[in-house]
């Protein structure tokens, strides 16, 4: 069976976790601080805050941005459900905008149409690693006095206009779930250039505690902590951070390898006119967290039939990005929400296997079988 994805983990990560466990300091401590410093340097952001996952990163970003009950935040419905959930956590309302089917990123014209007096922020998603047009969204946010937040869960190692994702705006949230390009088991990171937000998010991720464990531990003077506001336990552990440091050192190589496989698919399928392949415009650099193919209306085979045939032949595939407004948790409240472009893209896209290392013969098998199925030769 050719899997859809697998994390690239080696003896380096295992040794780092092992060594950290033996230090006796296993939750947020020196390894987390080191990982944050290295992640900030890698992305070019001033600060980074490590947290338990990208969903908690997005929640803290909403709080830092001042999003509250009664506010609206514009985001795509076509995203993993955690994107919209993070808006609900602060009592605000997700307002869904359409996507551009060329890259599944949020449609800026539809976003502008959905701005109201209640809008507080715009939450863009770099879909499956392909950057959104950050400058255009930042200009729109500035024009209307809104905060721009980036859901970069899938976009570690991607770049926009020559700079790594994480360096552009002041609230960028990453995931290190095993389905993303680098992993710490679970894990997340927020990068920011705003020092006040940085300090607030560090406080909130650890119960609102005025002094963190490490400072207290290293102090020669007696220190008592205070809890300044009601915070959360959104800490990353030092075991995870030790793994993350190893993964980060390999990130550029992992992305380069992923792009080679993506280039193979792009070349192999370029003449199939009933599918639309990912488009990487000038200035955009994708880490190809996923390789998604969109079936055009003239495609003779249905998406589910392709997926079933691939499965029968030992190749895993997945549906493309989901829509949030059609999930049970949202569909009653969003019964009047119609997003035909997002719905068609979600219903007709298919994600093909892409992971490191992927054997040459497995790449060829995926190419061969997908072609034959789509040309009705299988």
Ligand X SMILES: *Cc1c(COP(=O)(O)O)cnc(C)c1O
Which residues of this chain interact with ligand X, rule CB under 6 A? 53-55, 79-80, 82-83, 125, 151, 153-154, 175, 177, 188
Residues 65 and 120: beta-carbon distance below 8 Å: yes
- Cα–Cα distance measured from residue 236 to residue 212, given in angstroms and rounded to the nearest whole number: 13
Nearer of residues 78 and 358 to ligand X, judged by Cβ:
78
Scan for tokens 């290392």, then name that residue.
357
Nearer of residues 55 and 103 to ligand X, judged by Cβ:
55
- Cα–Cα distance measured from residue 318 to residue 313, given in angstroms and rounded to the nearest whole number: 15
Neighbour count for residue 288 (Cβ, 10 Å)? 26
Please name the residues in contact with 289: beta carbons below 8 A apart, sequence gap of 6 or more. Answer: 128, 129, 154, 155, 180, 181, 258
Scan for tokens 């389905």, then name that residue.
179
CB of 83 to ligand X, least distance (A): 5
Q: Six-digit token pair at 362?
A: 């497995």
What does the CA dihedral 262, 263, 268, 271 come to, rounded to 10 degrees?
110
CB of 189 to ligand X, least distance (A): 10
CB of 9 to ligand X, least distance (A): 17
For CA atoms 322, 324, 327, 332, the dihedral sign is negative
Residues 94 and 87: beta-carbon distance below 8 Å: yes
Nearer of residues 141 and 153 to ligand X, judged by Cβ:
153
CB of 272 to ligand X, least distance (A): 27
CB of 302 to ligand X, least distance (A): 25
Nearer of residues 125 and 165 to ligand X, judged by Cβ:
125
- Cα–Cα distance measured from residue 153 to residue 81, given in angstroms and rounded to the nearest whole number: 12
Nearer of residues 50 and 54 to ligand X, judged by Cβ:
54
CB of 56 to ligand X, least distance (A): 7
Q: Six-digit token pair at 181?
A: 């390009």
Residues 238 and 32: beta-carbon distance below 8 Å: yes
Nearer of residues 234 and 285 to ligand X, judged by Cβ:
234
Nearer of residues 80 and 370 to ligand X, judged by Cβ:
80
CB of 123 to ligand X, least distance (A): 10
């Amino acid at each position: 069976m050719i899997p859809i994805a697998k994390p690239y983990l080696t003896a380096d990560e295992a040794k780092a976790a092992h060594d950290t466990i033996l230090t006796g300091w296993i939750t947020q401590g020196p390894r987390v601080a080191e990982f944050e410093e290295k992640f900030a340097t890698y992305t070019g952001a001033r600060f980074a805050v490590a947290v338990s996952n990208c969903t908690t990163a997005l929640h803290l970003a909403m709080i830092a941005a001042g999003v509250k009950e009664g506010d609206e935040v514009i985001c795509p419905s076509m995203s993993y459900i955690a994107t919209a959930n993070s808006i609900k956590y602060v009592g605000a309302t997700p307002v869904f905008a359409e996507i551009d089917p060329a890259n599944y990123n949020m449609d800026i014209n539809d976003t502008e149409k959905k701005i109201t007096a209640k809008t507080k922020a715009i939450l863009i998603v770099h879909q499956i690693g392909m950057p959104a047009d950050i400058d255009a969204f930042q200009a729109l946010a500035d024009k209307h006095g809104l905060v721009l937040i980036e859901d970069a869960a899938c976009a570690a190692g991607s770049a926009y206009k020559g700079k790594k994702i994480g360096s552009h705006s002041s609230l960028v949230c990453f995931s290190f779930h095993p389905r993303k390009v680098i992993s710490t088991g679970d894990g997340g990171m927020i990068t920011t250039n705003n020092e006040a937000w940085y300090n607030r998010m560090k406080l909130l991720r650890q119960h609102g505690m005025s002094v963190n464990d490490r400072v207290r531990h290293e102090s020669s003077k007696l220190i008592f902590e205070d809890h300044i506001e009601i915070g959360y336990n959104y800490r990353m552990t030092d075991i995870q951070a030790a793994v993350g440091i190893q993964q980060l050192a390999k990130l550029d190589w992992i992305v380069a390898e992923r792009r080679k496989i993506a280039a193979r698919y792009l070349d192999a399928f370029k003449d199939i006119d009933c599918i639309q392949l990912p488009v990487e415009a000038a200035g955009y650099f994708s880490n190809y967290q996923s390789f998604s193919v969109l079936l055009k209306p003239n495609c003779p085979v249905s998406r589910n039939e392709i997926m079933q045939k691939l499965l029968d032949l030992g190749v895993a595939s997945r549906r493309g990005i989901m829509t949030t407004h059609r999930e049970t948790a949202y569909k009653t409240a969003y019964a009047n929400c119609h997003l035909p472009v997002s719905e068609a893209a979600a219903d007709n896209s298919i994600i093909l296997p892409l992971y490191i290392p992927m054997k040459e013969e497995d790449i060829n098998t995926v190419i061969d079988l997908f072609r034959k199925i789509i040309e009705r030769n299988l």
